[in-house]
């Protein structure tokens, strides 16, 4: 068996298995070897069904690994309660398993094949059965003979895919390790790194990963592979950075060169003074844009920390240099709000600002009334962007269309940057007639722990605004059960009566339809969903509770024009309560809103809750956030999670908590940067990330094209992350 051989030369694969391994990116034996277990199941203490027939498990907790079959749910006529029954089978026998009063178990086992069962056994001999055990669906299970023998009880669990099981990988890899010669494997990690960080060599690490002798060995192997992955990401980032730095760029006048102090007076025209953090951010960005290479910077700042004011100051500096700015936001509502903010900031300048969205364009100032914007055609705006009349254009995705071109685009600002794909961000940088690379300022209100930022955005410099505008009060946050909702309503009434406004967030738009065509009872999942409040239901309910107030609704199904008029109504206090889905999460700014009630709060992620709460820290009034839960009693982990929101000092602290509380894999969300869960785990280790980063940068500094690191170079090439000449 050679490392370069195709897997199908040595394993008989049916079509679905072929598809599955292809899907997992595996074609050669070497690829198979690199399919590292996602975790290890400690099967040391497991027993088999024969042993249970012999009387083990009676009155004591035992664990078995088995296949599950013939799951059936029935209503017992006597007790009117549900019983779920099924059969467990391993290669030593089979036995019954029963659950009483837990009908949802049947649904959760619908597609299960392998399971791990822990519980007590009732009865003995062939009639012995498990009663109400805990059960976990497994991607594969060890043979019963393995449970006692295999690799000191560490049974590797592999990432499976539709068509191929973890169990298949387990057996395949044992064979590969027996038959393939790992001495021909080239280790892409340079020797000096292996030695310096005390990592196992590639071939050793592979054996330790697939057939660990001890837990420590398996973890050493993981550490190596995690380091490797982070190291590749850092190399790719270092290369991207070096390439970008080498391109021609727009040199923006430095603040110190700005002899007229025009930036100074621009900032002085703000209705407030910048916080020190904002000052620092403006300075480092302006300085960076004058440094002779294209800037690539991430501006992180909690919701309400005033990133827009910073964006406007640096945009001013660019337009003052007779160059242009593109400012892209993820939603139309947000783009319009940014445009409105810019109009106030640029009031006393003669800089022209445009708005470009799918549903129309505007320009400020209008010819007839210099205090107001005016509607213009898209064609007109595009012309003015091309000839440089309009200096700053704020817009949505519409900005990245092919037809959109700037004369001299020197700065691209991306708001809520995680909402865009890498491609979209890159496209915007290209909409430029000028031959130079625009500076890039990415902004995010989703605080990211430092290690994560260094890894995901390794090619960006980081600026953090860690201070709120003066006088902001901490939002008072409380978790409330459904039984306390009337107290919340009473508080809402007093807030609104004193002139304030309230958001009510629901997890769904419309009530769910529980009727079914086939006469079957609705699924547990569906019933669960049905308990969650919907915008429509809740708005109707609130109209009864608060007949004296106006209530409006906002959700993703509305047309942009409808959303606009709802937001307009709310921002002018023509409605006092806005019932919405999480569409208000991003950037919506109504300073007079001081209370937010989040229904079904356990359904939202921590940082999403943080964003939602951010809607009410836009003013100097004391504000409140109520996290309502669907059940009276909330499970402990959920409560822990919600408590994190109550206690966290700021978004950064929350992000750190998020990283430890949740699986790192979940944090990755929809940002497509393609690291494995293993690397995500590793990211919790700041030292490792910093080491990988430092080594990568040192290598690229002296050997930009990895001429002296051919294996490494091939590896990166194969991953398609970088393209070296």
Residues that bind Mg ion (CB under 5 A): 587
Q: With CB cut-offs between 5 and 8 Å by kind, which of ligand ADP, Mg ion, none does residue 272 bind?
A: ligand ADP
- Asked if residue 453 lies in contact with residue 298, where contact means CB atoms within 8 angstroms, the answer is yes
- Residue 188 is given by DSSP the state -
Of 224 and 618, which has the nearer Cβ to ligand ADP?
Answer: 618
- Asked if residue 157 lies in contact with residue 37, where contact means CB atoms within 8 angstroms, the answer is yes
Of 434 and 591, which has the nearer Cβ to ligand ADP?
Answer: 591
Q: Give min distance, CB of 651 to ligand ADP, in A.
A: 11
Name residue, tokens 């429509």. Answer: 536
- Size of the residue set binding ligand ADP (CB under 6 A): 17
Name residue, tokens 């060890």. Answer: 142
Of 217 and 300, which has the nearer Cβ to ligand ADP?
Answer: 300
Q: With CB cut-offs between 5 and 8 Å by kind, which of Mg ion, ligand ADP, none does residue 278 bind?
A: ligand ADP
Of 119 and 587, which has the nearer Cβ to Mg ion?
Answer: 587
Helices (H) and strands (E) in the chain, counts: 28, 24
Residue 23 structure tokens: 């899907």
Give the C-alpha distances (Å, rounded to integers) separating 591 from 493, 503, 643.
18, 12, 26
Rounded-to-integer distance, Cα 88 and Cα 460, Å? 53
Of 30 and 312, which has the nearer Cβ to Mg ion?
Answer: 312
Name, in order, each residue with C-beta under 8 angstroms of 259's C-beta and a sequence gap of 6 or more: none
The residue of the chain with the least Cβ separation from ligand ADP equals 306
Window of 273-281, 537-545, 594-602, 653-661 that interacts with ligand ADP by CB under 6 A = 273-281
Of 382 and 413, which has the nearer Cβ to Mg ion?
Answer: 413
Give the C-alpha distances (Å, rounded to integers) separating 24 from 17, 223, 228, 332, 420.
11, 22, 19, 38, 25
Q: Which of 275, 290, 357, 501 binds ligand ADP (CB under 6 A)?
A: 275
Indicate whether 86 belongs to the interface with ligand ADP (CB under 6 A): no
Of the candidates 144, 168, 154, which has an alpha carbon nearest to the alpha carbon of residue 64?
A: 144
Indicate whether 153 belongs to the interface with ligand ADP (CB under 6 A): no
Q: Give min distance, CB of 299 to ligand ADP, in A.
A: 9
Q: Give min distance, CB of 442 to Mg ion, in A.
A: 12
Indicate whether 307 belongs to the interface with ligand ADP (CB under 6 A): yes
H or E segment at 429? helix 422-430
Q: Give min distance, CB of 460 to ligand ADP, in A.
A: 18
Binding mask 596-635 for ligand ADP (x = CB under 6 A): ----------------------x-----------------
The alpha carbon of residue 210 and the mean position of all alpha carbons in its chain are separated, in whole angstroms, by: 30
Name residue, tokens 């007076």. Answer: 265
- Asked if residue 239 lies in contact with residue 724, where contact means CB atoms within 8 angstroms, the answer is yes
Of 103 and 591, which has the nearer Cβ to ligand ADP?
Answer: 591
Indicate whether 304 belongs to the interface with ligand ADP (CB under 6 A): yes
Indicate whether 469 belongs to the interface with ligand ADP (CB under 6 A): yes
DSSP string covering 555-566 = -TTS-HHHHHHH
Residues from 128 through 147 that contact ligand ADP (CB under 6 A): none
- Asked if residue 587 lies in contact with residue 416, where contact means CB atoms within 8 angstroms, the answer is yes
Q: Give min distance, CB of 649 to ligand ADP, in A.
A: 17
In the sheet that holds 353-357, the strands lie side by side as 374-376, 360-364, 353-357, 392-395, 324-328, 409-414, 439-444, 296-301, 461-465
Of 307 and 407, which has the nearer Cβ to ligand ADP?
Answer: 307
Q: Where are the alpha helices (DSSP H) in 13-154?
A: 15-23, 29-33, 49-53, 104-108, 144-149
Q: With CB cut-offs between 5 and 8 Å by kind, which of Mg ion, ligand ADP, none does residue 621 bind?
A: none
Rounded-to-integer distance, Cα 618 and Cα 593, Å? 8
Residues from 537 through 576 that contact ligand ADP (CB under 6 A): none
Of 86 and 587, which has the nearer Cβ to Mg ion?
Answer: 587
Q: With CB cut-offs between 5 and 8 Å by kind, which of Mg ion, ligand ADP, none does residue 625 bind?
A: none
Residue 430 structure tokens: 């290209």
Rounded-to-integer distance, Cα 429 and Cα 296, Å? 11
Residues from 308 through 367 that contact ligand ADP (CB under 6 A): 308-309
Residues from 576 through 595 that contact ligand ADP (CB under 6 A): 589, 591
- Asked if residue 114 lies in contact with residue 138, where contact means CB atoms within 8 angstroms, the answer is yes
Indicate whether 301 belongs to the interface with ligand ADP (CB under 6 A): yes
Q: Which of 218, 249, 278, 319 binds ligand ADP (CB under 6 A)?
A: 278
Of the candidates 514, 505, 676, which has an alpha carbon nearest to the alpha carbon of residue 586?
A: 505
Q: With CB cut-offs between 5 and 8 Å by kind, which of Mg ion, ligand ADP, none does residue 365 bind?
A: none
Residue 74 structure tokens: 């029935």
Of 395 and 587, which has the nearer Cβ to Mg ion?
Answer: 587
Of 397 and 618, which has the nearer Cβ to Mg ion?
Answer: 618
Q: Which of 263, 445, 598, 655 binds ligand ADP (CB under 6 A)?
A: 445
The alpha carbon of residue 315 and the mean position of all alpha carbons in its chain are separated, in whole angstroms, by: 29
Of 57 and 301, which has the nearer Cβ to ligand ADP?
Answer: 301
- Residue 589 is given by DSSP the state -
Q: Give min distance, CB of 297 to ligand ADP, in A.
A: 15
Window of 270-278, 427-435, 483-491, 557-565 that interacts with ligand ADP by CB under 6 A = 270-278
- Asked if residue 9 lies in contact with residue 179, where contact means CB atoms within 8 angstroms, the answer is no
- Asked if residue 437 lies in contact with residue 244, where contact means CB atoms within 8 angstroms, the answer is yes
Q: With CB cut-offs between 5 and 8 Å by kind, which of ligand ADP, Mg ion, none does residue 48 bind?
A: none
Residue 282 structure tokens: 């403006």
Of 133 and 469, which has the nearer Cβ to Mg ion?
Answer: 469
Q: Give min distance, CB of 562 to Mg ion, in A.
A: 23
Q: Which of 305, 417, 553, 601 binds ligand ADP (CB under 6 A)?
A: 305
Name, in order, each residue with C-beta under 8 angstroms of 444's C-beta and a sequence gap of 6 or more: 298, 299, 300, 416, 417, 418
Exposed, middle or buried by CB within 10 Å (0-12, 13-18, 19+), for 556?
exposed
Q: Give min distance, CB of 538 to ligand ADP, in A.
A: 26
The alpha carbon of residue 149 and the mean position of all alpha carbons in its chain are separated, in whole angstroms, by: 40
Indicate whether 272 belongs to the interface with ligand ADP (CB under 6 A): yes
- Site residues (vs ligand ADP, CB under 6 A): 272, 274-275, 278, 301, 303-309, 445, 469, 589, 591, 618
């Amino acid at each position: 068996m050679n490392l370069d051989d195709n897997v199908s030369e040595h394993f008989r694969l049916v079509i679905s298995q072929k598809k599955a391994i292809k899907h997992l990116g595996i074609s050669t034996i070497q690829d198979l070897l690199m399919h590292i277990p996602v975790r290890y199941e400690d099967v040391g203490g497991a027993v088999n069904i024969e042993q249970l027939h012999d009387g083990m498990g009676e009155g004591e907790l035992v664990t078995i690994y088995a296949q599950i079959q013939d799951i059936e749910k029935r209503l017992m006529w006597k007790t009117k309660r549900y019983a779920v029954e099924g059969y467990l089978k391993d290669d030593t026998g089979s036995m019954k398993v029963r659950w009483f009063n837990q009908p949802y178990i049947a649904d959760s086992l619908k597609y299960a094949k392998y399971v791990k069962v822990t519980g007590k056994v009732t009865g003995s001999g062939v009639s012995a059965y498990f009663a109400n055990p805990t059960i976990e669906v497994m991607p594969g299970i060890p043979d019963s003979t393995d449970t006692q023998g295999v690799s000191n009880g560490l049974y590797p669990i592999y990432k499976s895919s539709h068509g191929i099981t973890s169990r298949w990988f387990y057996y395949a890899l044992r064979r590969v390790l027996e038959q393939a010669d790992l001495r021909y494997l080239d280790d892409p990690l340079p020797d000096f790194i292996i030695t310096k960080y005390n990592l196992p060599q590639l071939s050793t690490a592979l054996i330790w990963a697939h057939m660990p002798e001890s837990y420590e060995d398996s973890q050493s192997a993981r550490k190596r592979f995690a380091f490797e992955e982070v190291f590749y990401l850092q190399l790719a980032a270092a290369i991207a950075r070096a390439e970008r730095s080498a391109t021609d760029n727009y040199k923006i006048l430095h603040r110190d060169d700005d002899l007229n102090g025009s930036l100074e007076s621009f900032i002085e025209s703000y209705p407030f003074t910048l916080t020190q953090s904002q000052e620092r951010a403006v300075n480092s960005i302006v300085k960076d844009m004058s440094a002779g290479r294209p800037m690539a910077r991430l501006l992180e700042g909690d919701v309400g920390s005033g990133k827009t004011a910073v964006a406007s100051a640096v945009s001013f500096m660019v337009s003052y240099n007779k160059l242009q700015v593109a400012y892209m936001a993820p939603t139309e509502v947000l783009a319009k709000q940014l445009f409105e903010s810019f109009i106030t900031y640029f009031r006393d300048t003669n800089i022209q600002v445009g708005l470009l969205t799918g549903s129309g364009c505007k320009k400020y100032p209008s010819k007839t009334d210099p205090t107001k914007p005016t509607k213009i055609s898209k064609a007109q705006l595009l012309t003015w962007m091309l000839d440089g009349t309009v200096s700053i254009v704020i817009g949505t995705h519409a900005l990245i269309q092919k037809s959109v071109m700037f004369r001299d685009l020197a700065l691209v600002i991306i708001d809520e940057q995680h909402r865009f794909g890498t491609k979209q961000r890159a496209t915007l940088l290209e909409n430029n007639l000028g031959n130079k690379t625009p500076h890039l300022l990415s902004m995010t209100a989703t605080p990211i722990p430092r290690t994560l930022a260094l890894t995901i955005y390794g090619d960006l410099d980081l600026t953090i605004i860690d201070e709120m505008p003066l006088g902001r009060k901490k939002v008072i946050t409380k978790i409330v059960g459904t039984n306390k909702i009337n107290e919340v309503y009473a508080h809402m009434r007093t807030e609104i009566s004193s002139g304030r406004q309230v958001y009510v967030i629901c997890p769904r738009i419309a009530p769910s339809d529980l009727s079914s065509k086939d006469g079957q009872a609705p699924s547990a999942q569906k019933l669960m969903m049905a308990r969650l409040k919907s915008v429509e239901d809740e708005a109707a309910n609130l109209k009864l509770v608060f007949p004296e107030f106006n209530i409006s609704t906002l959700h993703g199904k509305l047309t942009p024009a409808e959303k606009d008029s709802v937001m307009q109504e709310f921002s002018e206090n023509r409605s006092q309560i806005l019932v919405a889905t999480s569409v208000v999460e991003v950037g919506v700014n109504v300073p007079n809103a001081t209370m937010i009630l989040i229904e079904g709060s356990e359904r939202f992620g921590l940082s999403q809750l943080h964003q939602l709460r951010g809607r009410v820290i836009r003013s100097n009034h004391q504000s409140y956030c109520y996290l309502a839960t669907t059940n009276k009693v909330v499970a402990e982990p959920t409560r822990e999670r919600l408590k994190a929101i109550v206690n966290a000092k700021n978004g950064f602290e929350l992000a750190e908590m998020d990283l430890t509380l949740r699986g790192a894999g979940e944090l990755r969300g929809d940002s497509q940067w393609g690291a494995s869960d293993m690397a995500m785990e590793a990211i919790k280790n700041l030292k490792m990330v910093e080491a990988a980063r430092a080594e990568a940068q040192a290598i690229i500094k002296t050997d930009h094209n990895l001429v002296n690191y051919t294996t490494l170079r091939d590896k990166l090439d194969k991953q398609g992350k970088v393209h070296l000449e």
